[in-house]
Amino acid sequence: MDVQIIEAQKVFCNPEWYWNSSMNQWNGFAFWYVFGGSVRIRVLGEEYCLIEGDSFIFHMDETHMSSHNPQHPLCVYTVYFRILDSDKNSLNFSASEIPRTRRLKSRIMIEEMLERCIEDSRVEDHSSSLWFKPILAEYLQTPESGKLLKSPGYNLVKDICVMIAKEPWKYKGLHDIISIAGYSSNHLIRLFKKYCGMTPYEFCIQKKIEYAK
């Protein structure tokens, strides 16, 4: 089994951005890795909300409707790819075989590999797939993030991140964030570190810096 990269990009979406995947007449898959903002994706009656550090694989034979908060636009790495058999024929897999969403560890390493994948995708030596294959392998080996999406702790962190990203200036300190969470400061910090890799205050500062640019 081999991977063919069709296109790899680092995208900073405009505030007006909205995407209906049926507009792209492609077969295969699209991998997204969110590094800024958030995005809501609807497919087959289900809705997923992705924040920084989340990844998603689109099955391009399905219709996906994606939208974001125009005040805090989506920033995302995208890799469109096909999976090939030994005869270079395109293979298809169901969502049960290649799940829709995962939250990968080692964000710095993942983003560095995606940068190299994008850079190498501009040449025709097929080296870009060498950078993407380890990411895809980790995606497939990572525990099902659908369980995280159903976790009250994950959903709480996700919702707080979306609120902070929308209006970061409203949150003067940790006490403002705690007031909307209903948890103790220590428990909320543990949840943020688990799902975001940083404290809620650090996330808030990061959003304020990004908003000021």
Q: Annotate 51-63 with three-state secondary structure.
A: CCCEEEEEECCCC
- Whole-number pLDDT of residue 213: 63
List, as one string, the DSSP characters of 125-183: SSTHHHHHHHHHHHHHHSPPTHHHHH-HHHHHHHHHHHHHHH-GGG--SHHHHHHHH-S
Contacts of 129 (CB under 8 A, 6+ apart): 2, 3, 4, 5, 81, 117
pLDDT values of the chain reduced to their tens digit, one per residue, 213 residues: 688 898 999 999 999 999 888 777 677 899 999 999 888 898 888 888 888 889 999 988 888 899 988 888 899 999 999 888 777 777 777 666 788 888 887 888 999 999 999 998 887 666 788 899 999 988 888 765 544 455 667 778 878 888 888 788 888 778 888 777 777 888 888 888 777 777 888 888 888 877 776
Q: What is the pLDDT of residue 166?
A: 79
Chain CA centroid to CA 176, Å:
27
Domain ranges of the chain: 2-143, 151-212
Q: Is 100 helix (H, G, I), strand (E, B) or coil?
A: coil
* Cβ-based neighbours of 93, under 8 Å, separated by 6 or more: 59, 83
Cα angle value 151/171/193 (rounded, 5°):
40
User: What pTM was estimated for this model as a whole?
Assistant: 0.68
Q: What pLDDT does 210 receive?
A: 72
Pick the closest to residue 109 from 78, 136, 135, 140 (CA basis): 135
The CB density around residue 163, as the number of other CB atoms within 10 Å, is: 14
CATH of 2-143, one of 2.60.120.280, 1.10.510.10, 1.10.760.10, 2.120.10.30: 2.60.120.280
> Angle formed by the axes of helices 152-166 and 185-196, to 10°?
90
Q: Give the span between the Cα atoms of 166 and 68, in whole angstroms.
A: 11
